[in-house]
Amino acid sequence: MVNMDTIAAIATANGSSGVGIIRISGEEAFPIADRVVRLPGGKNRLSDAKSHTIHYGFVCEGEESIDEALILLMRAPRSFTAEDTVELQCHGGMLVTRRVLEAVLRAGARLAEPGEFTKRAFLNGRIDLSQAEAVIDVIQAKNDYALRSSVMQLRGKVSEKIKEIRAKILLELAFIESALDDPEHISLDGYGEKLAEELIWVERELSALIRSAGNGRVVSEGIRTVILGKPNVGKSSLMNVLVGEERAIVTDVAGTTRDILEEHILLGGVSLNVMDTAGIRSTEDVVEKIGVSRAMEVAKEADLIIYVVDSSRPLDENDERIMEFIHDRKAIVLLNKTDLEPVVCAGEIAEKSGHEVILISAKEETGIERLGEEIRQMFFAGNIDFNDQVLITNVRHARALEQAYESIHMVEESIRTQMSEDFYSIDLMDAYETLGLIIGEAVEDDLVNEIFRKFCMGK
Protein backbone atom coordinates (compact mmCIF):
# COMPACT_ATOMS: atom_id res chain seq x y z
CA MET A 1 0.00 0.00 0.00
CA VAL A 2 2.52 2.56 1.08
CA ASN A 3 5.42 0.17 0.95
CA MET A 4 8.44 1.29 -0.92
CA ASP A 5 9.14 -2.19 -2.23
CA THR A 6 9.59 -2.91 -5.92
CA ILE A 7 6.50 -2.61 -8.08
CA ALA A 8 5.66 -3.51 -11.65
CA ALA A 9 2.80 -2.93 -14.05
CA ILE A 10 1.89 -2.72 -17.68
CA ALA A 11 2.54 0.88 -18.70
CA THR A 12 0.80 0.82 -22.07
CA ALA A 13 -2.91 0.83 -22.69
CA ASN A 14 -4.23 -2.52 -23.77
CA GLY A 15 -5.92 -3.45 -26.96
CA SER A 16 -4.69 -1.82 -30.11
CA SER A 17 -1.17 -0.93 -28.99
CA GLY A 18 1.68 -2.41 -31.00
CA VAL A 19 4.23 -2.32 -28.20
CA GLY A 20 3.64 -3.49 -24.66
CA ILE A 21 5.74 -1.85 -21.97
CA ILE A 22 6.21 -3.35 -18.53
CA ARG A 23 7.62 -0.91 -16.04
CA ILE A 24 9.48 -2.02 -12.90
CA SER A 25 10.36 0.50 -10.20
CA GLY A 26 12.11 0.20 -6.84
CA GLU A 27 15.30 -0.94 -5.18
CA GLU A 28 15.06 -4.44 -6.61
CA ALA A 29 14.23 -3.38 -10.17
CA PHE A 30 17.64 -4.31 -11.59
CA PRO A 31 18.05 -7.67 -9.84
CA ILE A 32 14.51 -8.58 -10.87
CA ALA A 33 15.25 -7.64 -14.47
CA ASP A 34 18.34 -9.84 -14.28
CA ARG A 35 16.17 -12.73 -13.22
CA VAL A 36 13.77 -12.48 -16.17
CA VAL A 37 15.93 -11.15 -18.99
CA ARG A 38 18.44 -13.23 -20.90
CA LEU A 39 20.94 -11.11 -22.83
CA PRO A 40 22.28 -12.66 -26.04
CA GLY A 41 25.64 -14.37 -25.84
CA GLY A 42 25.46 -14.66 -22.08
CA LYS A 43 26.69 -11.10 -21.77
CA ASN A 44 26.97 -9.14 -18.56
CA ARG A 45 24.06 -8.61 -16.23
CA LEU A 46 21.77 -5.62 -16.61
CA SER A 47 22.71 -4.62 -13.06
CA ASP A 48 26.20 -3.87 -14.32
CA ALA A 49 25.04 -1.75 -17.24
CA LYS A 50 25.08 2.03 -17.26
CA SER A 51 22.03 4.16 -16.59
CA HIS A 52 19.98 5.38 -19.52
CA THR A 53 21.06 2.66 -21.90
CA ILE A 54 18.97 0.37 -24.07
CA HIS A 55 19.60 -3.35 -24.40
CA TYR A 56 18.30 -6.15 -26.54
CA GLY A 57 17.36 -9.47 -24.97
CA PHE A 58 14.74 -12.12 -24.24
CA VAL A 59 12.25 -12.20 -21.43
CA CYS A 60 12.21 -15.71 -20.04
CA GLU A 61 10.29 -17.73 -17.57
CA GLY A 62 12.63 -20.49 -16.50
CA GLU A 63 14.09 -21.94 -19.69
CA GLU A 64 11.28 -20.77 -21.89
CA SER A 65 11.57 -17.53 -23.77
CA ILE A 66 8.34 -15.51 -23.71
CA ASP A 67 9.21 -12.61 -25.99
CA GLU A 68 12.10 -10.62 -27.31
CA ALA A 69 12.38 -7.17 -25.84
CA LEU A 70 14.19 -3.89 -25.68
CA ILE A 71 15.19 -3.07 -22.13
CA LEU A 72 15.53 0.52 -20.95
CA LEU A 73 17.54 1.12 -17.79
CA MET A 74 17.18 4.20 -15.62
CA ARG A 75 18.91 4.48 -12.30
CA ALA A 76 17.66 6.49 -9.36
CA PRO A 77 17.06 9.34 -9.16
CA ARG A 78 16.95 9.94 -12.90
CA SER A 79 13.61 8.28 -13.62
CA PHE A 80 9.94 9.17 -13.39
CA THR A 81 9.60 7.69 -9.92
CA ALA A 82 13.12 8.75 -8.90
CA GLU A 83 13.74 5.08 -8.16
CA ASP A 84 15.71 2.47 -10.08
CA THR A 85 13.49 1.78 -13.06
CA VAL A 86 13.55 -0.84 -15.80
CA GLU A 87 11.19 -0.84 -18.76
CA LEU A 88 10.68 -3.94 -20.84
CA GLN A 89 9.36 -3.13 -24.29
CA CYS A 90 7.77 -6.20 -25.78
CA HIS A 91 5.93 -6.93 -28.95
CA GLY A 92 2.61 -6.22 -27.44
CA GLY A 93 -0.53 -8.21 -27.66
CA MET A 94 -2.48 -8.73 -24.49
CA LEU A 95 -1.41 -12.28 -23.88
CA VAL A 96 2.33 -11.76 -24.25
CA THR A 97 2.37 -8.56 -22.25
CA ARG A 98 0.49 -10.26 -19.48
CA ARG A 99 2.86 -13.21 -19.44
CA VAL A 100 5.86 -10.93 -19.21
CA LEU A 101 4.26 -9.10 -16.31
CA GLU A 102 3.56 -12.38 -14.59
CA ALA A 103 7.17 -13.44 -14.99
CA VAL A 104 8.32 -10.16 -13.46
CA LEU A 105 5.97 -10.63 -10.52
CA ARG A 106 7.21 -14.15 -9.92
CA ALA A 107 10.75 -12.80 -9.95
CA GLY A 108 9.93 -10.70 -6.88
CA ALA A 109 8.09 -7.56 -7.88
CA ARG A 110 4.71 -6.64 -6.50
CA LEU A 111 1.90 -5.60 -8.81
CA ALA A 112 1.56 -1.84 -8.57
CA GLU A 113 -1.56 -0.38 -7.04
CA PRO A 114 -3.54 1.88 -9.34
CA GLY A 115 -1.72 5.19 -9.61
CA GLU A 116 1.22 3.96 -7.58
CA PHE A 117 3.93 5.05 -10.01
CA THR A 118 2.52 8.54 -9.95
CA LYS A 119 2.27 8.43 -6.20
CA ARG A 120 5.91 7.44 -5.86
CA ALA A 121 6.97 10.11 -8.28
CA PHE A 122 5.18 12.55 -6.06
CA LEU A 123 6.44 11.21 -2.76
CA ASN A 124 9.97 11.22 -4.13
CA GLY A 125 9.64 14.84 -5.05
CA ARG A 126 9.43 14.35 -8.80
CA ILE A 127 6.08 16.01 -9.20
CA ASP A 128 5.49 19.59 -8.28
CA LEU A 129 3.38 20.44 -5.27
CA SER A 130 0.89 22.26 -7.44
CA GLN A 131 0.06 18.96 -9.08
CA ALA A 132 -0.57 17.20 -5.81
CA GLU A 133 -4.32 17.48 -5.94
CA ALA A 134 -4.41 16.14 -9.43
CA VAL A 135 -2.35 13.20 -8.25
CA ILE A 136 -4.76 12.54 -5.43
CA ASP A 137 -7.66 12.60 -7.86
CA VAL A 138 -5.94 10.20 -10.21
CA ILE A 139 -5.27 7.76 -7.39
CA GLN A 140 -8.78 8.00 -6.03
CA ALA A 141 -10.35 7.64 -9.47
CA LYS A 142 -8.15 4.77 -10.54
CA ASN A 143 -8.79 3.04 -7.27
CA ASP A 144 -12.50 3.40 -7.61
CA TYR A 145 -12.35 2.03 -11.08
CA ALA A 146 -10.03 -0.81 -10.21
CA LEU A 147 -12.11 -1.74 -7.23
CA ARG A 148 -15.28 -1.65 -9.24
CA SER A 149 -13.86 -3.65 -12.07
CA SER A 150 -12.06 -6.18 -9.91
CA VAL A 151 -15.01 -6.96 -7.74
CA MET A 152 -17.84 -6.34 -10.19
CA GLN A 153 -16.32 -8.29 -13.01
CA LEU A 154 -15.42 -11.24 -10.94
CA ARG A 155 -17.40 -14.08 -12.33
CA GLY A 156 -20.12 -15.10 -9.96
CA LYS A 157 -18.95 -18.64 -9.65
CA VAL A 158 -15.36 -17.61 -8.95
CA SER A 159 -16.48 -15.26 -6.25
CA GLU A 160 -18.63 -17.93 -4.66
CA LYS A 161 -15.83 -20.43 -4.78
CA ILE A 162 -13.40 -18.05 -3.14
CA LYS A 163 -15.90 -17.31 -0.42
CA GLU A 164 -16.31 -21.02 0.15
CA ILE A 165 -12.56 -21.56 0.42
CA ARG A 166 -12.18 -18.61 2.74
CA ALA A 167 -14.97 -19.84 4.97
CA LYS A 168 -13.21 -23.17 5.23
CA ILE A 169 -9.88 -21.56 6.11
CA LEU A 170 -11.51 -19.25 8.62
CA LEU A 171 -13.20 -22.13 10.38
CA GLU A 172 -9.91 -23.99 10.76
CA LEU A 173 -8.21 -20.82 11.95
CA ALA A 174 -10.91 -20.18 14.49
CA PHE A 175 -10.63 -23.71 15.76
CA ILE A 176 -6.87 -23.44 16.27
CA GLU A 177 -7.18 -20.07 17.90
CA SER A 178 -9.94 -21.03 20.26
CA ALA A 179 -7.91 -24.04 21.34
CA LEU A 180 -4.86 -21.86 21.94
CA ASP A 181 -6.94 -19.40 23.84
CA ASP A 182 -8.71 -21.96 25.92
CA PRO A 183 -6.49 -25.05 25.95
CA GLU A 184 -8.32 -26.62 28.84
CA HIS A 185 -11.62 -26.72 26.97
CA ILE A 186 -10.55 -27.40 23.40
CA SER A 187 -7.88 -29.91 22.48
CA LEU A 188 -5.71 -29.91 19.37
CA ASP A 189 -4.62 -33.53 19.71
CA GLY A 190 -4.27 -35.10 16.28
CA TYR A 191 -5.46 -31.92 14.64
CA GLY A 192 -2.50 -31.66 12.24
CA GLU A 193 -3.50 -34.79 10.37
CA LYS A 194 -7.09 -33.72 10.14
CA LEU A 195 -6.11 -30.30 8.86
CA ALA A 196 -3.79 -31.83 6.27
CA GLU A 197 -6.77 -33.73 4.88
CA GLU A 198 -8.94 -30.63 4.78
CA LEU A 199 -6.20 -28.76 2.98
CA ILE A 200 -6.17 -31.27 0.14
CA TRP A 201 -9.56 -29.92 -0.84
CA VAL A 202 -8.44 -26.30 -0.47
CA GLU A 203 -5.39 -26.94 -2.62
CA ARG A 204 -7.42 -28.67 -5.29
CA GLU A 205 -9.92 -25.83 -5.46
CA LEU A 206 -7.17 -23.23 -5.57
CA SER A 207 -5.36 -25.09 -8.37
CA ALA A 208 -8.55 -25.17 -10.40
CA LEU A 209 -8.95 -21.44 -9.92
CA ILE A 210 -5.34 -20.80 -10.85
CA ARG A 211 -5.83 -22.79 -14.06
CA SER A 212 -8.88 -20.80 -14.98
CA ALA A 213 -7.06 -17.56 -14.14
CA GLY A 214 -4.42 -18.61 -16.67
CA ASN A 215 -7.16 -18.73 -19.28
CA GLY A 216 -8.28 -15.25 -18.32
CA ARG A 217 -11.49 -16.57 -16.90
CA VAL A 218 -11.41 -15.21 -13.40
CA VAL A 219 -12.72 -11.96 -14.69
CA SER A 220 -14.06 -11.55 -18.16
CA GLU A 221 -11.72 -9.76 -20.48
CA GLY A 222 -13.27 -7.74 -23.20
CA ILE A 223 -15.80 -5.01 -23.66
CA ARG A 224 -18.68 -5.57 -21.31
CA THR A 225 -21.62 -5.67 -23.60
CA VAL A 226 -25.26 -5.97 -22.63
CA ILE A 227 -28.09 -6.84 -25.02
CA LEU A 228 -31.27 -5.01 -24.07
CA GLY A 229 -34.78 -5.42 -25.42
CA LYS A 230 -38.26 -6.57 -24.62
CA PRO A 231 -38.94 -10.30 -24.38
CA ASN A 232 -39.06 -12.17 -27.63
CA VAL A 233 -37.53 -9.48 -29.79
CA GLY A 234 -34.80 -11.93 -30.73
CA LYS A 235 -32.03 -11.23 -28.25
CA SER A 236 -31.23 -14.89 -27.79
CA SER A 237 -31.31 -15.55 -31.50
CA LEU A 238 -28.85 -12.71 -31.93
CA MET A 239 -26.64 -14.23 -29.27
CA ASN A 240 -26.72 -17.53 -31.10
CA VAL A 241 -25.73 -15.93 -34.33
CA LEU A 242 -22.88 -14.08 -32.68
CA VAL A 243 -21.65 -17.07 -30.77
CA GLY A 244 -22.18 -19.37 -33.67
CA GLU A 245 -23.88 -22.17 -31.85
CA GLU A 246 -27.26 -22.94 -30.35
CA ARG A 247 -26.63 -21.93 -26.76
CA ALA A 248 -29.76 -20.27 -25.61
CA ILE A 249 -33.07 -22.04 -25.84
CA VAL A 250 -35.00 -20.03 -28.34
CA THR A 251 -38.71 -20.30 -28.81
CA ASP A 252 -41.46 -17.88 -29.65
CA VAL A 253 -42.66 -17.87 -26.09
CA ALA A 254 -41.52 -14.83 -24.18
CA GLY A 255 -39.23 -15.50 -21.28
CA THR A 256 -37.82 -18.85 -22.24
CA THR A 257 -34.28 -17.80 -21.65
CA ARG A 258 -33.58 -18.79 -18.11
CA ASP A 259 -29.96 -18.20 -17.19
CA ILE A 260 -27.84 -15.16 -17.60
CA LEU A 261 -25.91 -15.96 -20.71
CA GLU A 262 -22.42 -14.61 -20.81
CA GLU A 263 -20.32 -15.20 -23.88
CA HIS A 264 -16.91 -14.18 -24.96
CA ILE A 265 -16.96 -13.39 -28.67
CA LEU A 266 -14.77 -11.74 -31.26
CA LEU A 267 -16.65 -9.39 -33.57
CA GLY A 268 -14.99 -7.12 -36.09
CA GLY A 269 -11.69 -8.04 -34.49
CA VAL A 270 -12.84 -6.68 -31.13
CA SER A 271 -13.23 -8.78 -28.05
CA LEU A 272 -16.70 -8.59 -26.53
CA ASN A 273 -18.03 -10.02 -23.37
CA VAL A 274 -21.72 -10.30 -24.05
CA MET A 275 -24.40 -10.69 -21.44
CA ASP A 276 -27.89 -11.63 -22.52
CA THR A 277 -30.07 -10.11 -19.87
CA ALA A 278 -33.19 -11.91 -20.95
CA GLY A 279 -32.61 -14.55 -18.35
CA ILE A 280 -32.42 -12.03 -15.61
CA ARG A 281 -36.11 -11.84 -15.12
CA SER A 282 -37.71 -14.68 -13.32
CA THR A 283 -39.82 -16.96 -15.38
CA GLU A 284 -43.47 -16.97 -14.46
CA ASP A 285 -45.05 -14.18 -12.48
CA VAL A 286 -43.29 -11.62 -14.48
CA VAL A 287 -44.51 -8.22 -15.19
CA GLU A 288 -42.52 -7.38 -18.27
CA LYS A 289 -41.62 -4.00 -16.88
CA ILE A 290 -39.71 -5.51 -13.99
CA GLY A 291 -37.68 -7.65 -16.32
CA VAL A 292 -36.69 -4.68 -18.41
CA SER A 293 -35.87 -2.57 -15.35
CA ARG A 294 -33.57 -5.23 -14.02
CA ALA A 295 -31.86 -5.59 -17.34
CA MET A 296 -31.27 -1.86 -17.41
CA GLU A 297 -29.74 -2.07 -13.94
CA VAL A 298 -27.15 -4.50 -15.30
CA ALA A 299 -26.66 -2.35 -18.38
CA LYS A 300 -25.58 0.56 -16.20
CA GLU A 301 -22.24 -1.15 -15.64
CA ALA A 302 -21.76 -2.02 -19.30
CA ASP A 303 -19.20 -0.54 -21.67
CA LEU A 304 -21.56 -1.02 -24.62
CA ILE A 305 -25.29 -1.61 -24.95
CA ILE A 306 -26.89 -3.37 -27.90
CA TYR A 307 -30.59 -2.55 -28.05
CA VAL A 308 -32.73 -4.92 -30.06
CA VAL A 309 -36.13 -3.88 -31.44
CA ASP A 310 -38.64 -6.18 -33.12
CA SER A 311 -39.61 -4.40 -36.32
CA SER A 312 -42.77 -6.47 -36.63
CA ARG A 313 -44.30 -5.22 -33.37
CA PRO A 314 -45.20 -1.66 -32.46
CA LEU A 315 -43.09 0.23 -29.91
CA ASP A 316 -44.49 0.32 -26.41
CA GLU A 317 -43.80 1.96 -23.06
CA ASN A 318 -40.85 -0.39 -22.38
CA ASP A 319 -39.17 0.63 -25.61
CA GLU A 320 -39.65 4.26 -24.69
CA ARG A 321 -37.89 3.70 -21.40
CA ILE A 322 -35.00 1.87 -22.98
CA MET A 323 -34.54 4.51 -25.65
CA GLU A 324 -34.42 7.21 -23.04
CA PHE A 325 -32.00 5.11 -21.02
CA ILE A 326 -29.52 4.59 -23.84
CA HIS A 327 -29.75 8.10 -25.16
CA ASP A 328 -26.54 9.29 -23.49
CA ARG A 329 -24.86 5.93 -23.34
CA LYS A 330 -22.61 4.02 -25.71
CA ALA A 331 -25.12 2.00 -27.65
CA ILE A 332 -25.98 0.40 -30.93
CA VAL A 333 -29.61 -0.09 -32.01
CA LEU A 334 -30.59 -3.15 -34.01
CA LEU A 335 -33.89 -3.41 -35.81
CA ASN A 336 -34.47 -7.15 -35.93
CA LYS A 337 -36.87 -9.38 -37.83
CA THR A 338 -36.54 -7.29 -40.97
CA ASP A 339 -37.52 -10.51 -42.74
CA LEU A 340 -41.06 -9.90 -41.47
CA GLU A 341 -43.56 -7.16 -42.32
CA PRO A 342 -42.24 -3.99 -40.60
CA VAL A 343 -44.52 -1.83 -38.45
CA VAL A 344 -41.75 0.22 -36.84
CA CYS A 345 -39.88 3.04 -38.51
CA ALA A 346 -36.09 3.15 -38.18
CA GLY A 347 -36.07 6.95 -38.35
CA GLU A 348 -38.30 7.30 -35.33
CA ILE A 349 -36.09 5.02 -33.26
CA ALA A 350 -32.93 6.78 -34.35
CA GLU A 351 -34.40 10.08 -33.24
CA LYS A 352 -35.68 8.89 -29.88
CA SER A 353 -32.63 6.84 -28.94
CA GLY A 354 -30.03 9.18 -30.32
CA HIS A 355 -28.27 6.35 -32.11
CA GLU A 356 -28.05 5.16 -35.67
CA VAL A 357 -30.11 2.07 -36.44
CA ILE A 358 -28.79 -1.07 -38.11
CA LEU A 359 -31.25 -3.39 -39.82
CA ILE A 360 -30.68 -7.05 -39.22
CA SER A 361 -32.38 -10.36 -39.30
CA ALA A 362 -31.01 -12.70 -36.73
CA LYS A 363 -32.99 -15.52 -38.29
CA GLU A 364 -31.61 -14.92 -41.77
CA GLU A 365 -28.24 -13.79 -40.37
CA THR A 366 -28.25 -10.59 -42.35
CA GLY A 367 -26.80 -7.28 -41.15
CA ILE A 368 -24.41 -8.97 -38.71
CA GLU A 369 -21.38 -7.80 -40.66
CA ARG A 370 -22.51 -4.20 -40.38
CA LEU A 371 -22.86 -4.65 -36.66
CA GLY A 372 -19.25 -5.89 -36.52
CA GLU A 373 -18.07 -2.96 -38.60
CA GLU A 374 -19.89 -0.48 -36.34
CA ILE A 375 -18.36 -1.92 -33.18
CA ARG A 376 -14.95 -1.91 -34.75
CA GLN A 377 -15.28 1.72 -35.71
CA MET A 378 -16.51 2.74 -32.29
CA PHE A 379 -13.62 0.92 -30.67
CA PHE A 380 -10.85 2.32 -32.79
CA ALA A 381 -12.33 5.80 -32.73
CA GLY A 382 -12.10 5.48 -28.97
CA ASN A 383 -15.84 5.78 -28.54
CA ILE A 384 -15.97 2.71 -26.36
CA ASP A 385 -13.95 2.87 -23.18
CA PHE A 386 -12.23 -0.40 -23.05
CA ASN A 387 -11.75 -1.47 -19.47
CA ASP A 388 -8.00 -1.97 -19.44
CA GLN A 389 -8.10 -2.63 -15.74
CA VAL A 390 -9.62 -6.01 -16.44
CA LEU A 391 -6.41 -7.40 -17.74
CA ILE A 392 -4.55 -6.10 -14.73
CA THR A 393 -7.24 -7.48 -12.50
CA ASN A 394 -6.70 -10.89 -13.96
CA VAL A 395 -2.99 -10.73 -13.27
CA ARG A 396 -3.61 -9.48 -9.77
CA HIS A 397 -6.08 -12.24 -9.07
CA ALA A 398 -3.86 -14.90 -10.56
CA ARG A 399 -0.99 -13.71 -8.39
CA ALA A 400 -3.18 -13.65 -5.28
CA LEU A 401 -4.38 -17.17 -5.99
CA GLU A 402 -0.83 -18.38 -6.42
CA GLN A 403 0.18 -16.72 -3.18
CA ALA A 404 -2.71 -18.29 -1.33
CA TYR A 405 -1.71 -21.64 -2.77
CA GLU A 406 1.87 -21.11 -1.58
CA SER A 407 0.62 -20.22 1.89
CA ILE A 408 -1.46 -23.38 2.07
CA HIS A 409 1.54 -25.32 0.92
CA MET A 410 3.53 -23.82 3.76
CA VAL A 411 0.90 -24.89 6.25
CA GLU A 412 1.31 -28.44 4.97
CA GLU A 413 5.04 -28.06 5.33
CA SER A 414 4.57 -26.96 8.94
CA ILE A 415 2.36 -29.98 9.58
CA ARG A 416 4.90 -32.28 7.97
CA THR A 417 7.82 -30.92 9.99
CA GLN A 418 5.75 -31.23 13.15
CA MET A 419 5.67 -27.56 13.98
CA SER A 420 3.16 -26.79 16.70
CA GLU A 421 -0.35 -25.73 15.71
CA ASP A 422 0.07 -22.02 16.35
CA PHE A 423 2.43 -21.90 13.38
CA TYR A 424 -0.28 -23.19 11.07
CA SER A 425 -2.34 -20.13 11.72
CA ILE A 426 0.36 -17.76 10.47
CA ASP A 427 0.12 -19.10 6.90
CA LEU A 428 -3.59 -19.86 7.08
CA MET A 429 -4.14 -16.22 7.94
CA ASP A 430 -1.96 -15.14 5.02
CA ALA A 431 -4.02 -17.28 2.65
CA TYR A 432 -7.24 -15.92 4.11
CA GLU A 433 -6.11 -12.32 3.70
CA THR A 434 -4.80 -12.83 0.18
CA LEU A 435 -8.03 -14.42 -1.01
CA GLY A 436 -9.92 -11.58 0.60
CA LEU A 437 -8.12 -9.14 -1.67
CA ILE A 438 -9.65 -10.81 -4.70
CA ILE A 439 -13.22 -10.39 -3.58
CA GLY A 440 -12.54 -7.04 -1.98
CA GLU A 441 -13.06 -8.09 1.62
CA ALA A 442 -10.85 -6.91 4.44
CA VAL A 443 -10.12 -9.12 7.43
CA GLU A 444 -11.13 -6.84 10.29
CA ASP A 445 -12.57 -8.89 13.14
CA ASP A 446 -13.55 -11.96 11.14
CA LEU A 447 -11.43 -14.32 13.16
CA VAL A 448 -12.51 -13.19 16.60
CA ASN A 449 -16.13 -13.26 15.50
CA GLU A 450 -15.80 -16.74 14.05
CA ILE A 451 -14.18 -18.01 17.24
CA PHE A 452 -17.11 -16.89 19.29
CA ARG A 453 -19.69 -17.99 16.77
CA LYS A 454 -18.43 -21.49 16.31
CA PHE A 455 -16.72 -22.47 19.53
CA CYS A 456 -17.90 -22.43 23.06
CA MET A 457 -15.30 -20.59 25.07
CA GLY A 458 -14.47 -21.20 28.71
CA LYS A 459 -15.09 -19.50 32.02
Partner 1 sequence: MPYIEETYDIVVVGAGHAGCEAALAAARLGFETIMFTVSVDSIALMPCNPNIGGSSKGHLVRELDALGGEMGKNIDKTFIQSKMLNESKGPAVHSLRAQADKQAYTASMRHVLENTDHLTIRQAEVSEILTVAVGDGQKRKKIAGVKTHSGAVYHCRAVILATGVYLCARCVYGEVSTPTGPNGLQASGYLSDSLRANGIELYRFKTGTPARVDRRSIDFSKMEEQPGDRRIVPFSFSTDPDSIQKEQVSCWLTYTNKKTHEIIRANLDRSPLFCGAIEGTGPRYCPSIEDKVVKFPDKERHQIFVEPEGNYTNEMYLSGMSSSLPEDVQFAMYRTVPGLEHVKIVRNAYAIEYDCINPRQLNASLEFKEIEGLFSGGQFNGSSGYEEAAVQGFMAGVNAVRKLQGKDPVILDRSQAYIGVLIDDLVTKENHEPYRMMTSRAEYRLLLRQDNADLRLREIGYEIGLVTEEQYQYVLWKEQAIEQEIKRLESTTIGVNEEVQKFLEMHESTLLKSGITLAELVRRPELDYEMLAEIDGGRPKLPFDIIEQVNINLKYEGYIKRQKKQVEQFKKLERKKLPHDLDYTLVKSLRREAVQKLNLFKPLNIGQASRISGVSPADISVLLIYLEQRAAALKHGTAEKPSEEEHHV
Q: Residue 345: count other Cβ atoms within 10 Å of its Cβ.
A: 13
Residues 48, 63, 133, 284: which binds partner 1 (CB under 8 A)? Answer: 133
Q: By three-state DSSP, how is residue 302 classified?
A: coil
If the CB atoms of residues 215 and 418 are measured against partner 1, the closer one turns out to be 418
The string of DSSP letters for 212-265 reads HHHTTTTBT-SEEEEEE--TTSSHHHHHHHHHTS--S---SSTT---SPEEEEE
If the CB atoms of residues 53 and 131 are measured against partner 1, the closer one turns out to be 131
Window contacting partner 1 (CB under 8 A); options: 13-21, 345-353, 374-382, 451-459? 451-459
Residues 139, 243, 286, 298: which binds partner 1 (CB under 8 A)? Answer: 139
Shortest spacing between CB 30 and partner 1, in angstroms: 21
Residues 144, 164, 301, 369: which binds partner 1 (CB under 8 A)? Answer: 144
> Is 452 one of the binding residues for partner 1 (CB under 8 A)?
yes
Nearest to 113 by CA among 147, 89, 159, 162: 147
Shortest spacing between CB 459 and partner 1, in angstroms: 4
Q: How far, CA to CA in Å, does 384 sit from each of 29, 257, 271, 272?
A: 35, 28, 12, 11
> Is 459 one of the binding residues for partner 1 (CB under 8 A)?
yes
Q: If you compute the radius of gyration of the chain from its CA atoms, what whole number of angstroms results? A: 26
250: left (phi over 0), alpha (psi -120 to 50) or beta: beta
Q: Do the bridges between strand 223-228 and strand 304-310 make them parallel or antiparallel, or are there none, so unpaired? A: parallel
> Is 428 one of the binding residues for partner 1 (CB under 8 A)?
no
Report 163-202 residues binding partner 1 (CB under 8 A): 177, 180-185, 188
> Is 58 one of the binding residues for partner 1 (CB under 8 A)?
no
Q: For residue 358, what are the β-bridge partners?
A: 334
> Is 457 one of the binding residues for partner 1 (CB under 8 A)?
yes
> Is 442 one of the binding residues for partner 1 (CB under 8 A)?
yes
Contact 336, 361 (CB under 8 A): yes
If the CB atoms of residues 144 and 373 are measured against partner 1, the closer one turns out to be 144
Return d(Cα 105, Cα 93) in angstroms, integer: 18
Residues lying near partner 1 in the complex (CB under 8 A) are found at 1-4, 113, 115, 119, 122-123, 129, 132-133, 135-137, 139-140, 143-144, 147, 177, 180-185, 188, 417-423, 425-426, 442, 444-445, 447-448, 451-452, 456-459
